[in-house]
Amino acid sequence: MNALETALFTQLTTPATPLYALVGTKVYNPIAPQPAALPYVIFAFGGGGDANETAIDRLELVYLVKALAATKLAAGQIDDELRARLHQQTFSVTGWTLLACLRESEVQLDEVVNGAPVFHRGALYRIKLAK
Amino acid sequence: MGEYLGRNAVLTFGSITFGRFTTIDTDESVDVVDKSAGSDTHDSVLAGLAKGQISLNSNHNAGDTATWNGVAPGTEGTLVYSPEGTATGKPKYSVVAMVQNRQRKTGYNDLTRFSATFKLQADVAGTAW
């Protein structure tokens, strides 16, 4: 959903925030350009859609938002700031009213890429929008 | 003609239109009085007083005090139920009713929803738009 993804990008790349100090504008949806220097953030659509329960449109969507970094500490610090920027926060979504942005399931993945460790830390966020 | 969905339904009570309803339930019945005689082989009844209610479940819109205040218990008004919408020829059911009950449910991080039950004060008049 373009309006929401634009809003998420704006929310995650707002200057003068602790998150911005860690990753700047290196926030990608859903795939980082390669090669991309660590650390960075990716967010990706995970599921959901229209509630279809009343005559007024309402959406409930899930997005994966996570940090990728060369150390667990760095990934965890970025993830803490992702939480601060998203969980229970309010931000503008063009054409919609944001009812809630809620952190739900935690996501962790550790892998080795080209001989170097990459640590993923993040979560699934449930986003509720209404007209 | 075939089945139809509730998406076109319109329910109004006085000046209020319930634009975010999720369900509308109607319930009409009549009291019955046993008139079975001693030699009958099956029981039988006489019609007594008719009665009924219409119940509504709805999401609650932020800042919408008019709807909530409009369904205060004891409020009486004309209820118009149009299950297929208000296009010409579609069925229209009107009745004077009184709000018997309202409930609002607030869940942390969940939609706030409300329900109201309207006690019918007369027979429902079925006409067409």
Q: Which ipTM value was assigned to this complex?
A: 0.76
**Torsion over CA: B84, B89, B95, B97 (sign):** positive
What is the pLDDT at residue A35? Answer: 87
**Sole residue written with tokens 């082989």:** B41
A55 touches chain B (CB under 8 A): yes
Q: Is residue A92 over pLDDT 90?
A: yes
Q: CA of A53: how far to CAs of A101, B66, B80, B109, in Å? A: 20, 22, 21, 18
What is the pLDDT at residue B82? Answer: 96
Which secondary-structure segment (H or E) carries A66? strand A58-69
**What is the DSSP pairing of strand B45-59 with strand B21-34?**
antiparallel
**What is the DSSP pairing of strand A40-50 with strand A27-28?**
parallel
Please tell me chain A's helix, strand, coil percentages from 3-state DSSP, rounded to the nearest 5.
25, 45, 30
In tens digits, chain B (129 residues) has pLDDT values of 789 999 999 999 999 999 999 999 999 999 999 999 989 999 999 999 999 999 999 999 888 999 999 999 999 999 999 999 999 999 999 999 999 999 999 999 999 999 999 999 999 999 999
**Torsion over CA: A22, A28, A32, A36 (sign):** negative
Cα angle for residues B40, B44, B47 (degrees, 5° grid):
150
Mutate to test the interface with A, among B20, B57, B67, B108 (most CBs of A within 10 A): B20
When CB atoms are compared, the residue of A53, A54, A102 closest to B109 is A102
Which residues from chain A sit within 8 angstroms of residue B22, using beta carbons?
53-54
Euclidean distance between CA atoms A50 and A12, whole angstroms: 24
The β-bridge partners of A42 are A28, A66
Euclidean distance between CA atoms B35 and A15, whole angstroms: 82
Euclidean distance between CA atoms B3 and B16, whole angstroms: 28
| CB-based burial, A58-88: b 16+ in 10 Å, e otherwise | bbbbbbbbbbbbeeeebbebbbebbbebbee
What is the pLDDT at residue A1? Answer: 76
Query: Which tens digits make up the pLDDT trace of A50-81?
Result: 999 998 899 999 999 999 999 999 999 999 99
User: Is B22–A53 a contact, with Cβ atoms under 8 angstroms apart?
Assistant: yes
Residue in B102, B92, B79 with CA at minimum distance from that of residue B12: B79
pTM for this prediction: 0.85
A99 touches chain B (CB under 8 A): yes
DSSP state, residue A126? E
Which residues from chain A sit within 8 angstroms of residue B19, using beta carbons?
54-56
A56 touches chain B (CB under 8 A): yes
Which residue on chain A is closest to B24 by alpha carbon?
A54
Q: CA of A56: how far to CAs of A59, B1, B6, B121, in Å? A: 10, 26, 13, 31
Query: Which tens digits make up the pLDDT trace of A15-44?
Result: 999 999 999 999 999 999 988 899 999 999
